[in-house]
Amino acid sequence: MKFSEAWLREWVSPVLETQPLADAVTMAGLEVDAVEAVGSVFHGVVVAKVIAKAPHPDADKLNVCQVDDGSGESVQVVCGAPNVAEGQKVPFARVGAILPDDFKIKKAKLRGVESRGMICSASELGLEEERSEGIYVLPEDAPLGEDFRTWMQLDDHTIEVDLTPNRGDCLSIRGMAREVGVVTRESVTPPSIAAVEAVSDARFSVSITAGAHCPRYLGRMLEDVDLNAATPLWMSERLRRSGIRTIDPAVDVTNYVMLELGQPLHAFDRERLTSGIEVRHAAEGESLTLLDGQRVALDGETLVIADGSGPLAIAGVMGGAASGVTRATRHLFIEAAFFTPLAVAGTARRYGLHTDASHRFERGVDPQLVEAAIERATALLVSIVGGRPGPVIETVGDRSAPVSSIHLRRERLDACLGVTLPAEEIEDILARLGMSVTVSDAGWRVQAPSWRFDIAIEEDLIEELARIHGYNRLPVRRPQARPALAPDEEATQPLARLRRHLVSRGYQEAITYSFVSPDLQAMIEPAAVSPTLANPISSDMSVMRHSLFPGLLKALMHNLNRQQSRIRLFESGLVFRGSLNDLEQPAMVGGVICGARDVEGWNARREAFDFFDIKGDVESLIALSGESSRWRFVPEVHPALHPGRCARLYRDERPVGWIGALHPTHQSQLGIKPEVYLFEIEQDSLVAGRVAEFSPLSRFPEVRRDLAFVVDETTSVGSLLEAIREQAGEWLTQAQLFDVYQGKGVEPGYKSLALGLTWQHPSRTLNDEEINQLIAAVVERAQTRFDAVLRS
């Protein structure tokens, strides 16, 4: 919520400077994000009038103007603005004036003609960010000679408050003034809103078929309006200082009332309506072209405002172009309605929209506000565009259930706050917050006001009392507890150790959203089933992740798009597999790498990462458990990974993860140029390990034999080593691959695998005969199982 301090002080004006006022609001739980001056620093600018204009004798694009600045003498000024005209009131910088950026106005000659001063544009005064095309033309009633800064109230500030979703009641000057009044104990003086008497019998029928979602709908005709009238400067300035640009008087007034009171309004062009208004849900196949030009296909959950021709607006979100107000509009139909938060929640995001109206209706708008809002809007419109108002027509849907009172117990309040507040202060705070309070035996019975949708239980009331009393005034006490130490399972690797290990190998931890784009997830895992969010943040974050791959790939692309060429990221977190009825949420650890193997340097290698780099990282992670022998890498196919460079991880006989290169098709679709490698492993399988045990060191020598087998090139080294370990006996201490060769001397389609086998007996020296028997058994097993040939 962004608003003008001067506007707020018309409602409530505590004896506080700007920053202390902002601090008080922040301490009350409404965090102030920014306090900024509404205009740049300048002085020496007055309201003046152009009394004469003539072409410059020596320049086609310049004019020589005579300006009355209120001093009694006309001032000659050379002006190049295309929109300058005789009779205009303008901001005029006299000689000696200082404009923003310390620009000083001096006497000058432009193409031989003397110029004493400058007629200013809005951007030259710091009132617009973009450069203005022409001078700033002021209303005719601007006081001649008045200091421009004083007359425009530019010694003002905009205050921007970051409101939490539960405080929709503060999305207006009315709501903020109410909060400031409570915090500073100042009285709030709202503007007087009197009913506007109907001078016309013009009516427009309204019916409600979705009464549960629209309990109240007020409408009013305003005939014979002139929308070519200009929005008053005071109103356009307040809108500008609240971050809203002016469009036309009808839209400006509805926006102004929304900012002032918190009630969104909408104006229809009556002559473009075919029959009575109906508040209903959209039917299948209906569509609507919105005011922003976007055409949307409506679903059956969308609440719409319709007439005989079809939908006119998405209720509480945005109006349609077909019934929109233009400068040619002669008759208005003004809408002020209460739509329940559930009726609007998520609707805007489903259509990729976010409007000021939806922002408020989703959080809750005071249902008792509609009468005051439509009367206020009518009075403002009549004063600006004229017209003849008709009677206010109210249509009621389903009546809301009465609000039940909340029991606030004294004992519970004291226990939560740690301090006993006087009963008088409690009742005063609750009353100033607009709540009705009745004293009961154990405490108080409290009923929340109509604008507080977030007050439902006893804890809400306790929070309000703590907030207004002052969090900084609550006592600070250390908890009295003697917690026992949590047991440390020695056989379990903590997740923190896994994280530290990956960091030590050059990875950086990424934390991505648990919800991802459905298109990206479908690309990575076409058969994935995971819950879809009913109220997503955006359309590309609408499903829960089935894997860590989509989030990691998105983080990778974010870095690549910012010229980061060497990337190593990991993440740990839950994934969501299955529908809500049979949902599984395993914790996973995943990683992604791409780019150069070494950090750039004069002695760094230029090679890029390959499959064995990420496999080595995963193997080192597995080794932390001390049970590497229970893991296997088995070639299998994953839809997201390259079919020839992909493996599934097994712990014992259970599949627990994947590793491989990103599929070339996906790499092309995502626009990624370097090769990308990923892994994902169940966290439980990584953290499970065994307690380290001491094994006595043998005093006897090792015996090593090197063997080279020629096998089919599709043969897995892992399966060969596994078979050798089974046959090599209990004294085998190490079996290691140290060379792979294909080329001269080895037939095409085959490869030579050189293995180093080491034996050691714990209590004696092994003799050659024993070793030869073991080697013979190993060779026989390799020949029998893999058709391996011993290479000489």
0.95 cut: is pTM over it?
Answer: no
Backbone angles phi, psi at 23, to 5 degrees: -65, -40
Residue 270 in this model has a pLDDT that exceeds 90: yes
- Give pLDDT, residue 486: 76
Domain that holds residue 174: 2-38+156-184
Q: Could you tell me if 727 and 749 lie in one domain?
A: yes
Q: 10 Å Cβ neighbour count for 37?
A: 13
Residue 678 in this model has a pLDDT that exceeds 70: yes
Domain membership of residue 142 (yes or no) is yes
State the chain's mean pLDDT as an integer. Answer: 91
Q: Could you tell me if 557 and 419 lie in one domain?
A: no
- Whether residue 63 contacts residue 97, with contact meaning beta carbons closer than 8 Å, is answered with no
- Average pLDDT rounded to a whole number, residues 328-343: 94
Q: Could you tell me if 734 and 597 lie in one domain?
A: no
**What are the tokens at 362?**
């989703």
- Give pLDDT, residue 254: 96
% of the chain residues with pLDDT over 90: 74
Q: Could you tell me if 281 and 330 lie in one domain?
A: yes
pLDDT in tens, 193-242: 999 999 999 999 999 999 999 999 999 999 999 999 999 999 999 999 99
Q: Could you tell me if 445 and 556 lie in one domain?
A: no
- Give pLDDT, residue 403: 64
Residue 478 in this model has a pLDDT that exceeds 60: yes
Q: Could you tell me if 282 and 389 lie in one domain?
A: yes
pLDDT in tens, 14-23: 999 999 999 9
Q: Could you tell me if 607 and 511 lie in one domain?
A: yes
Distance of CA 160 to the CA centre of its chain: 17
Query: How would residue 399 be classed by pLDDT, with cut points 50, 70 and 90?
Result: low
Q: Could you tell me if 449 and 317 lie in one domain?
A: no
CATH of the domain at 732: 3.30.70.380
Distance of CA 756 to the CA centre of its chain: 57
**What are the tokens at 510?**
């990424």
Q: 464 in the Ramachandran plot: left (φ > 0), alpha (ψ -120 to 50) or beta?
A: alpha
- Average pLDDT rounded to a whole number, residues 159-168: 92
- Give pLDDT, residue 278: 95
Domain membership of residue 592 (yes or no) is yes
Domain count of the chain?
6
CATH of the domain at 161: 3.30.56.10
Query: How would residue 67 be classed by pLDDT, with cut points 50, 70 and 90?
Result: very high
Domain membership of residue 695 (yes or no) is no
Please give the angle made by the CA atoms of 533, 537 and 539, to the nearest 5 degrees: 75
Q: Could you tell me if 34 and 84 lie in one domain?
A: no
Domain membership of residue 562 (yes or no) is yes
Residue 401 in this model has a pLDDT that exceeds 70: no
Please give the angle made by the CA atoms of 704, 708 and 710, to the nearest 5 degrees: 160
Domain membership of residue 379 (yes or no) is yes
**What are the tokens at 571?**
């993440």
Q: Which residue has the tokens 């926006």?
A: 255
Among 50, 47, 381, 390, CA closest to 229: 381
Residue type, 242: S
DSSP code string of 45-65? EEEEEEEEEEE-TT-TT-EEE
- Whether residue 646 contacts residue 678, with contact meaning beta carbons closer than 8 Å, is answered with no
Q: Could you tell me if 273 and 349 lie in one domain?
A: yes
Residue 482 in this model has a pLDDT that exceeds 90: no
Rounded Cα distance, 411 and 443, in Å: 8
Domain membership of residue 249 (yes or no) is yes
